[in-house]
Amino acid sequence: MPRLREVPRSEVHPFGEVMYGLLFGDRDPTVEPGTASGTPGDWWSVTALSPDAFDHIAGGIQYYRSPDRQISPVLRELGQLRVGWARSSLFVYSQHCKAARDVGLTNEQVDAIPHWQVADCFTPIQRAVLAYVDCLVLQGGRVPDGVIAALKAELSEVEILELTYITTTYDMYGIISKALHLEYDNVEDPMQEVPDLDGNCAGLERFAQ
């Protein structure tokens, strides 16, 4: 279950009702969950707790899908897909596996995202984008000059800015999804103590007795 309350259809704000209609048809997602893409849909029913946040999130999606964007859909999705993997957000990763194929990435490229550093199926600019995403997500924005130079060799400054904004936005979405146990990130933390062969968690000091 999500860690926060889901907003039923009877309580959702006007734009939320529009989105609920697009995502869930006539159903109340708190009673009959599920979207056409196979997700539970609780990303939307939980973020509807704050109408302003909900509308801002919807606006972010409209931003990156707008035909006014200069960054190519292929590079955009490459970045979003690597964000999902690097942030360990199954929700972001799984959704953008599908989106990446839709815009033209091959199955080989999608499958190579976890080990892109040693894969030979990416172009130089695609490798630069993947390196940049890792700097943004895994290094907290610490980007070497060489990575920026590789981007500038083929992308405009507007494209780099759009890529940066979209990538870091989806990094945030992945963090939110994991923190609140939304969608496919509704999982227990795997970092737990593993008992010894006798089923104990008493610590090493018992062996010194």
Domain boundaries, the chain: 9-64, 71-185
Q: Is the model's pLDDT at 33 over the cut of 80?
A: yes
Residue 42, both tokens: 């609780």
SS (H, E, C) 78-90: HHHHHHHHHCCCH
Query: Where does the pLDDT of residue 203 fall: very low under 50, low under 70, confident under 90, or very high at 90 and above?
Result: low
For residue range 186-199, what is the model confidence (pLDDT) as tens digits?
A: 999 888 888 888 77
From the list 88, 6, 1, the residue with the least C-alpha distance to 44 is 6
Q: How much of the chain exceeds pLDDT 70, in percent?
A: 96
Dihedral sign computed on CA atoms, order 124, 127, 129, 132: negative
Q: Is the model's pLDDT at 115 over the cut of 70?
A: yes
How open is the CA angle 51-57-61, to the nearest 5 degrees? 140
pLDDT for the residue numbered 200: 77
Q: What is the largest distance, in Å, between two alpha-carbon atoms of the chain?
A: 70
Quote the mean pLDDT of the chain. 95
Is residue 131 within 8 Å of 123, Cβ to Cβ?
Answer: no
User: What phi and psi values does residue 45 have, to the nearest 5 degrees?
Assistant: -70, -25
CA–CA separation, 41 vs 55, rounded Å? 16
Dihedral sign computed on CA atoms, order 35, 41, 86, 53: positive
Residue carrying the six token digits 């062996």 = 207
How open is the CA angle 20-25-30, to the nearest 5 degrees? 55
Q: Find out if CATH 1.20.1630.10 is the number for domain 71-185.
A: no
DSSP state string for 2-31: -SSPPPPGGG--HHHHHHHHHHHTTS-TTT
Residue 23, both tokens: 């995502």
Query: Where does the pLDDT of residue 204 fall: very low under 50, low under 70, confident under 90, or very high at 90 and above?
Result: low
CA–CA separation, 194 vs 200, rounded Å? 9
The CB-side HSE value for 113 (13 A sphere, CA atoms) comes to: 27
For residue range 135-189, what is the model confidence (pLDDT) as tens digits?
A: 999 999 999 999 999 999 999 999 999 999 999 999 999 999 999 999 999 999 8
Dihedral sign computed on CA atoms, order 171, 117, 101, 128: positive
pLDDT for the residue numbered 206: 53
Distances in Å between the alpha carbon of 26 and those of 128, 183, 209? 44, 20, 66
